[in-house]
A = this chain, B = another copy of it.
């Protein structure tokens, strides 16, 4: 038995359905995870930015990890987001994920203090690896400078790889800067680089990356899977279609928009709930969203249900 399960392919940064009281709805969450795995996803990254992880209490995050494990979602198809501002919380969440059977963790840098040094970030990640102290653990760095405001430089990544080898297994690059992604793939052989958007999926795998972990894959999974598995002759056309959908969705607050589409997909209005400071789409935004996605055959069923909901 290998000590870890490598992850690759099309991953959804999976949404967290919430109860009206603002707690994760485990039944809906597990149902959505299963739907994703059965409809094109190679895997899931729960409790990331899209999963509203940092808006959830520590206890809620741990309970969701355990609910996913109890549902039997396989270890080689899950990368759990475990990064917080406090090393102690990040250690506790990572330990919870490993104990639940998920050794692959996606870990933000500590994001409260800004302008911190690479030495300070190295100390943080080194302390995490040492305190976890488990040979199974695989760390995926999470580079999302627009949200964390704490970038992870290639120099820092190199130092971590030099010190800890393949324990520092990979990275999700949500910068939207393809040149940065390409540089990381080229600079660090064996380092497993995911793009943070399926808009770069074809480029990523052609360049030697391992796939994408993306918010919008919560609704584009079937098409993203076709891009990944397409013959070279067909891939460019399919990628163009996938990129057009991603681009359309980027005109809306991403998480509330994805949740609204899932309401249309499932008929369950519970999908509308988000945690503050996020807000559900306004009716005007929802109408505009329905109009925008009507251009795409992928959403035929959702458009029909969305129209039915709107006419109630």
Contacts and interface: CB of A to CB of B under 8 A. Distances in A.
Interface of A: 22, 49, 54-60, 84-89, 92, 109-114, 116-117, 119-121, 123-124, 127, 146-150, 275-279
Contacts of A49: 112-113
A123 B277 contact: yes
Contact of A86 (B56, B117, B120): B56
Nearest to A125: B276
A51 to B, nearest CB: 12
A54 B112 contact: yes
Given A86-B55, A86-B56, A110 B147 contact: no
Contacts of A58: 58, 86, 89
B124 A87 contact: no
Contacts of A85: 54-55, 84-85
Nearest to A128: B276
Contacts of A127: 22, 276
Nearest to A84: B85
Contact of A277 (B113, B146, B276, B278): B113
Given A57-B89, A86-B54, A89-B57, A276 B123 contact: yes
Given A56-B88, A114-B147, 14 more contacts: A54-B112, A55-B110, A57-B86, A59-B88, A60-B86, A60-B88, A111-B111, A112-B147, A113-B277, A119-B279, A120-B276, A121-B276, A123-B277, A149-B149
Contacts of A275: 86-87
B54 A277 contact: no
Nearest to A112: B54
A287 B123 CA distance: 23
A85 B86 CA distance: 11
A181 to B, nearest CB: 21
Contacts of A84: 85
A171 to B, nearest CB: 18
Contacts of A111: 111-112
